[in-house]
Structure 1
Amino acid sequence: MREAEGGPDRTGRLIWIGPSLATLAVVLTGIGHAQPWRDELATWSAASRPLGDLVRLAGTIDAATSPYYLFMHAWVAVFGDSVTALRLPAALAMAATAGLTAVLGQRLVGARVGLLAGLLFAVLPGTSRYGQEARPYALATFLAVLATLLLVEALARPGWTRWAGYAVAVAALGLTHLVALTLLAAHAVTVLATRRTGPGNRPLRWVLALLPTVLLLTPLVLLARGQRSRQLGWVETARPDDLAALAGGVAQSGVVGGLLVGLAALGAARLGRRALLPGLAVLLPVLLLFAAGLVVPLWVPRYLVFVVPFACLLAGAALATVPLPPALAVVALAGLLGLPDQASLRRTHEWPRSATVDYRGAARIVADGQRPGDVIVYSPRESWFFLDLGLAYHLGDRRPRDVLVTEDQARRGDLWAAECARPAECLAGMDRVWLVVTGRREDPLAAVPGAKGDALRADFTVERVWPRPGLTVALLTR
Structure 2
Amino acid sequence: MVPGLLTLVVTLAGIGHAQPWRDELATWSAATRPVPDLVRMTRTIDAATGPYYLLMHGWTALAGTSPTALRLPSALAMAVAAALTARLGAVLVGRRAGLLAGLLFAVLPVTSRYGQEARPYALATLLAVLATLLLVEALRRPGRWRWAGYAAAVAALGLFHLLALTLLAAHAVVVLLVAAYGPSAAGVDPPRADDSDDPAHRDSAATQRKPAVFAWWLVALLPAVLLVTPLALVARGQRGRQLDWVDPARLPDLAALPGALAQSGAVGGFVLALAALGAARLGRRALLPAAAVLLPVLLVFAAGTVVPLWVTRYLVFTVPFACLLAGAAPAGAPRTAPARTTRAGSHITAPQKTLRPLAAGLAVVVLAGLLGLPDQAALRRTHEWPRSSPVDYAGAAGVIGAGQRPGDTIVYAPRDGWLFPDLGMAYHLGSRLPRDVLVVRDQRQGASLWAVECDDPARCLAGVDRVWLVVTGRRADPLAAVPGAKGDALRAGYTVRQVWPRPGITVALLVR
Aligned-partner SS, 2:501: strand
Q: Matched residues in 1 for 2:364 and 2:170: separation?
A: 29
1:286 matched residue in structure 2: 297
Q: Does 1:97 align with 2:76?
A: no
* Structure 1 residues 66-465: aligned runs within 5 Å: 66-195=50-179, 196-197=181-182, 198=208, 199=210, 201-321=212-332, 323-465=357-499
Aligned-partner SS, 2:324: helix
The Cα offsets for residues 296-316 of structure 1, whole Å up to 9 and x where unpaired, read as 111001000000000000001
1:7 matched residue in structure 2: none
Q: Matched residues in 1 for 2:159 and 2:40: separation?
A: 18
Deviation at 1:232, TM superposition (A): 0.3
Q: Matched residues in 2 for 1:220 and 1:455: separation?
A: 42
The Cα offsets for residues 308-335 of structure 1, whole Å up to 9 and x where unpaired, read as 0000000011020362112211110100
Deviation at 1:438, TM superposition (A): 0.9
Whether contact under 8 Å (1:158, 1:200) holds in the other structure is no
One-letter code of the match for 1:299? W
Deviation at 1:28, TM superposition (A): 0.3
Aligned-partner SS, 1:295: coil
The Cα offsets for residues 395-447 of structure 1, whole Å up to 9 and x where unpaired, read as 00000000000000011010000001000000000000000001111111011
In the alignment, which of 25, 28, 46 is matched to residue 62 of structure 1? 46
Deviation at 1:279, TM superposition (A): 0.5
Q: Matched residues in 2 for 1:122 and 1:221: separation?
A: 32
Aligned-partner SS, 1:436: strand
TM-score by length of 2: 0.90
Number of aligned residue pairs:
462
Aligned-partner SS, 1:158: coil
* TM-align CA RMSD: 0.7
Query: Which sections of structure 2, spanning at least 5 residues, go unmatched?
Result: 183-207, 333-355
Aligned-partner SS, 2:445: helix
* Structure 1 residues 458-473: aligned runs within 5 Å: 458-473=492-507
2:5 matched residue in structure 1: 21
1:32 matched residue in structure 2: 16
1:11 matched residue in structure 2: none
1:51 matched residue in structure 2: 35
TM-score by length of 1: 0.96
Deviation at 1:218, TM superposition (A): 0.9
Query: Which sections of structure 1, spanning at least 5 residues, go unmatched?
Result: 1-16
Q: Matched residues in 1 for 2:357 and 2:249: separation?
A: 41
Q: Matched residues in 2 for 1:172 and 1:389: separation?
A: 29
Aligned-partner SS, 2:470: strand
One-letter code of the match for 2:500? W
Q: Matched residues in 2 for 1:369 and 1:204: separation?
A: 67
Deviation at 1:360, TM superposition (A): 0.2
1:6 matched residue in structure 2: none
Q: Matched residues in 2 for 1:327 and 1:143: separation?
A: 26
Aligned-partner SS, 1:378: strand
The Cα offsets for residues 231-278 of structure 1, whole Å up to 9 and x where unpaired, read as 000001000000011111111000000000000000000011111100
Aligned-partner SS, 2:508: strand
Q: Percent identity?
A: 74
2:350 matched residue in structure 1: none
Q: Matched residues in 2 for 1:348 and 1:110: separation?
A: 38
Deviation at 1:200, TM superposition (A): 6.1
Deviation at 1:92, TM superposition (A): 0.2
Aligned-partner SS, 2:406: coil
One-letter code of the match for 1:469? P
Q: Matched residues in 2 for 1:340 and 1:104: separation?
A: 30
Q: Matched residues in 2 for 1:212 and 1:100: separation?
A: 23
Q: Matched residues in 1 for 2:224 and 2:357: separation?
A: 43
The Cα offsets for residues 364-420 of structure 1, whole Å up to 9 and x where unpaired, read as 000000000000000000010000000100000000000000000011010000001
Q: Where in structure 1 do 4 or more consecutive aligned residues deviate above 6 Å?
A: none
The Cα offsets for residues 161-187 of structure 1, whole Å up to 9 and x where unpaired, read as 100000000000000000000000000
Deviation at 1:60, TM superposition (A): 0.5
One-letter code of the match for 1:396? G
Q: Matched residues in 1 for 2:285 and 2:434: separation?
A: 61
Aligned-partner SS, 2:469: strand
One-letter code of the match for 1:41? L
